[in-house]
Structure 1
């Protein structure tokens, strides 16, 4: 369903509650587990291809090491585990065009893959390594989640086609939310910013199963076919390789999520786009995450929930706001930067017209922030929640 406006006269304060926080920015070491299903008879080809790629992976900044394992029960099943200094270096690499090109030969001998990412919380080391080494880079404490996985896809349209595509994307029957006994599609929110489309989804259960479920729905496939002529990047979803490359490039991972734990069905959902200067996307996402963490404990903040998505220099912040984003009053609050001292850093990280040109506290700085907010706001195309989600 489409979210309707909430009267601006509603109270903008709330009681502080235990908030949920998920983040890639805590500095913990990262373990990546890649489950691979190799075509029958292609095991040797897979091994040789992997050997050719291994030296490239070893030179990636932040990569600490990895193992390649083969199942003792099914020779077609392989496992690649790699360890990284922290999540950001891995995410920067896995979203790069270099990675897309590098893994392409693997897919000639691979039927299916599944990637899982984990922060290291505890580990057992050789006694000679010492207790300090054993604790180095570990996640300090377990996080408490809310059972929802958040992910987004983004792609660009041929200029001039935005209105046509918006109509196509808004006018389709919602897919069946139940995927299987353990997986359910909870919410889909779709926004436009210029010629960029962002589709954010929320899933309980298995994200990959939910994505496949949605892609197989006839009404969804019809819409995807209808918008193909308007995409800047050509794709053929009937061709597995073309579809894989498209969705790899379109993936917009959630790098931070925080919620106050307060439920408000009338809260409005908004999306803000923060185009980063080249090479600054991860730092910009981290800055927004830090401010959202602080705001989650501030009873004056109207923001009930915030998710930061980032890939390369594309940074998008999805927020649920009591009373609507205009009710926040101060544009810096709506932008996720209530601390005036950090507006200057935002200016250095934003690219071109997205930057707020004005020193905090100086005449005209408020106008600059208001312009930045107007430039960041994405247009809502559709926001649909499954019943009882």
Structure 2
């Protein structure tokens, strides 16, 4: 049975309610891109779309796409695409090739909004399609609390880490409530060496909340303050530069699972950094997601919830756990069980995280936990207005 098949089985029944988000259930993906064009940019946009469509047609995992124009407002357009599953789309949308492919759209488009959905049901003549024709459908609806999770990661110039920490730690959270339906719930910032990871939780629409936060004076002041220290320069006054930097920094959440029962008191948030062997980032993220699904069934697991973020060979596992992590390092690292440490060793670039040698001893396991546990810079809930 394939890995995807095992994941699908685990997301059925009782477990389904505890996995509100997963890119690994094997279901087909529908991507919806809403665009608002500048006046007079339609012909330029059509040329750019034709070029983009011809490029994406050869991307592994891509099935089809459609371009639609509003019958009510001619400046509003819609692009939909279908993919065999989420992982190949995420690999494409986070690639440098994608950035270059969509660059011609920037001068045509005033605003965009992207939405991604797994395919749950297909109907024909009012009836569900037969089982033989529904391969790739999500097994059943996931149940969640209406929270979207996302992260951004970037690197700063070596030697400037302490200055960056000072700026990021002093950032005051913006007002939480944007409107009746959207609320910025929590922001967590971590560092590992010169790498920064900022994770956010949003109730409601993620894009709306991110735009709101980016336009707050306090947020912009901090971002301007750290600009001189970034390894990859950006100009926040230039929408194109800001957009490209944000695209390159995106660290999507590919899996989230909560433990059974009510949320325990005294949980502490940690971020663990897992640099993958070149080309193995997706498999490492998949491995950790399987481990956290299994741990959610264990009543004595110190890890209550886990979110896995992955882009290329950067994998970050954000966990809410009880007690000190070193009391149960195997659970903390997500490698509890026979052969799991060896599997992580195969996928992990140990040298990049400062731990070389096999993970076959308690000493090396503890060293890995110590080196992977990121420095917590800021972790706060946004304040209500």
Q: Which residue of 2 aligns with 1:3?
A: none
Please give the alpha-carbon distance, in whole angstroms, between the structure 2 residues aligned to 1:18 and 1:71. Answer: 36
Unaligned ranges ≥5, structure 1:
1-15
Please give the alpha-carbon distance, in whole angstroms, between the structure 2 residues aligned to 1:48 and 1:133. Answer: 39
Please give the alpha-carbon distance, in whole angstroms, between the structure 1 residues aligned to 2:91 and 2:16. Answer: 33
Q: Which residue of 1 aligns with 2:377?
A: 381
- CA apart distance, 1:300: 1.3
Q: Which residue of 2 aligns with 1:334?
A: 332
Normalised TM-score (structure 2): 0.91
Please give the alpha-carbon distance, in whole angstroms, between the structure 2 residues aligned to 1:315 and 1:367. Answer: 23
Q: Which residue of 1 aligns with 2:310?
A: 310
Please give the alpha-carbon distance, in whole angstroms, between the structure 2 residues aligned to 1:77 and 1:324. Answer: 52
Q: Which residue of 2 aligns with 1:8?
A: none
Please give the alpha-carbon distance, in whole angstroms, between the structure 2 residues aligned to 1:154 and 1:78. Answer: 30
- CA apart distance, 1:294: 0.5
Q: Which residue of 2 aligns with 1:372?
A: 368
Q: Give per-residue Cα distances to partners, 1:313-337, cap 9 Å, x unaligned.
A: 1100000111132232xx2211011
Q: Which residue of 2 aligns with 1:298?
A: 298
CA contact (8 A) 1:258 1:293 kept: yes
Q: Give per-residue Cα distances to partners, 1:39-79, cap 9 Å, x unaligned.
A: 11111111111112211100000001111111111111111
CA contact (8 A) 1:17 1:262 kept: no
CA contact (8 A) 1:356 1:372 kept: no
Moved over 4 A (4+): none
- CA apart distance, 1:352: 3.7
Q: Give per-residue Cα distances to partners, 1:262-320, cap 9 Å, x unaligned.
A: 32342111000000111110100000000000001101101111100001111000001
Please give the alpha-carbon distance, in whole angstroms, between the structure 2 residues aligned to 1:289 and 1:66. Answer: 30
Q: Which residue of 1 aligns with 2:325?
A: 325
Report the 3-state secondary structure (helix = DSSP H, G, I; strand = E; otherwise coil) of the residue aligned with 2:275. Answer: coil
Report the 3-state secondary structure (helix = DSSP H, G, I; strand = E; otherwise coil) of the residue aligned with 1:173. Answer: coil
Q: Which residue of 1 aligns with 2:81?
A: 82
Trace 1:165-184 onto structure 2 (pairs within 5 A): 165-184=164-183
Please give the alpha-carbon distance, in whole angstroms, between the structure 1 residues aligned to 2:383 and 2:228. Answer: 33
Please give the alpha-carbon distance, in whole angstroms, between the structure 1 residues aligned to 2:333 and 2:356. Answer: 11
CA contact (8 A) 1:271 1:317 kept: yes
Q: Give per-residue Cα distances to partners, 1:138-174, cap 9 Å, x unaligned.
A: 0010000121111111110000000111011101322
CA contact (8 A) 1:156 1:195 kept: yes
Please give the alpha-carbon distance, in whole angstroms, between the structure 2 residues aligned to 1:21 and 1:204. Answer: 13
Normalised TM-score (structure 1): 0.90
Please give the alpha-carbon distance, in whole angstroms, between the structure 1 residues aligned to 2:359 and 2:335. Answer: 14
**CA separation of 1:185 and 1:125: change in aligned 2, threshold 3 A:** same
Please give the alpha-carbon distance, in whole angstroms, between the structure 1 residues aligned to 2:359 and 2:216. Answer: 50
Report the 3-state secondary structure (helix = DSSP H, G, I; strand = E; otherwise coil) of the residue aligned with 1:201. Answer: strand
- CA apart distance, 1:387: 5.4
CA contact (8 A) 1:262 1:304 kept: no
CA contact (8 A) 1:124 1:134 kept: no
Unaligned ranges ≥5, structure 2:
1-14
Q: Which residue of 1 aligns with 2:245?
A: 246
CA contact (8 A) 2:280 2:347 kept: yes
**Number of positions where the alignment pairs a residue of Structure 1 with one of Structure 2:** 367
- CA apart distance, 1:133: 4.0
Report the 3-state secondary structure (helix = DSSP H, G, I; strand = E; otherwise coil) of the residue aligned with 1:227. Answer: helix
Report the aligned-residue RMSD.
2.0
Trace 1:95-114 onto structure 2 (pairs within 5 A): 95-114=94-113
- CA apart distance, 1:356: 6.4
Trace 1:180-191 onto structure 2 (pairs within 5 A): 180-191=179-190
